[in-house]
Amino acid sequence: MAKILVIHGPNLNVLGIREPEHYGHTTLADIDQRLQELASRDGHNLESFQSNAEHALIEKIQTAVREADRIIINPAGLTHTSVALRDALLAAGIPFVEVHLSNIHARDPFREHSYFSDAAMGVVSGFGPLSYELAYRAAVGSLTAKD
């Protein structure tokens, strides 16, 4: 049984009502429930954590060092700004998948740069809630992949 930590950054708590043209109508609770279903079906332990505070996200990652096998993270707006959150992931040394609901390469130019992508196992961006499901499959698949 693996432990998967899902981290949602700022403003993702208001998914469903927030800019639906970019993020759709699915709520964060819906996304977390779906991930929870997938994990229990696979016999894995999955924990979701959302915060609007950068320090809380960093502290969660520091705590996970002794616990999580994989991290799935949507850094949200911090994707484009946070060296500190990136450093926390690198310090933890836990392989992570970066996920975005929207395609960050098809929006404002300032969203094109991510402080996370080069350090991530991979990036899933642009598939709405399905992005999380794909990220989950990638994270879990990498636990057993032989090549």
Which residue numbers are catalytic?
Answer: 23, 100
> Would you state the structure tokens that stand for residue 93, as one six-digit string?
């040394």
Instruction: Tell me if 85 contacts ligand DQA by CB under 6 A.
Output: no
46-68 core/surface letters (b: 16 or more CB in 10 A; e: else): bbbbbbeebeebbebbeebeeeb
Tell me the residue type at 10.
Answer: P
- Residue 75 C-beta: closest distance to ligand DQA, Å: 7
Reference 142, options 114, 116, 120; nearest CA is 120
Q: How far is CA 118 from CA 4, 32, 96, 98, 122, in A?
A: 21, 26, 11, 10, 8
Q: Which of these segments, 29-37, 49-57, 71-79, 115-123, binds ligand DQA (CB under 6 A)?
A: 71-79
Tell me: does residue 48 bind ligand DQA (CB under 6 A).
Answer: no
Least CB distance to ligand DQA at residue 74 (A) = 5
Question: Rounded distance, CA 119 to CA 3, Å?
Answer: 20
Which residues within the stretch 97-116 sit at the binding site for ligand DQA (CB under 6 A)?
100-102, 104, 111
Q: Does 79 bind ligand DQA (CB under 6 A)?
A: yes
CB of 139 vs ligand DQA, minimal distance in Å: 16
Contacting positions for ligand DQA (CB under 6 A): 11, 74, 76-77, 79, 100-102, 104, 111
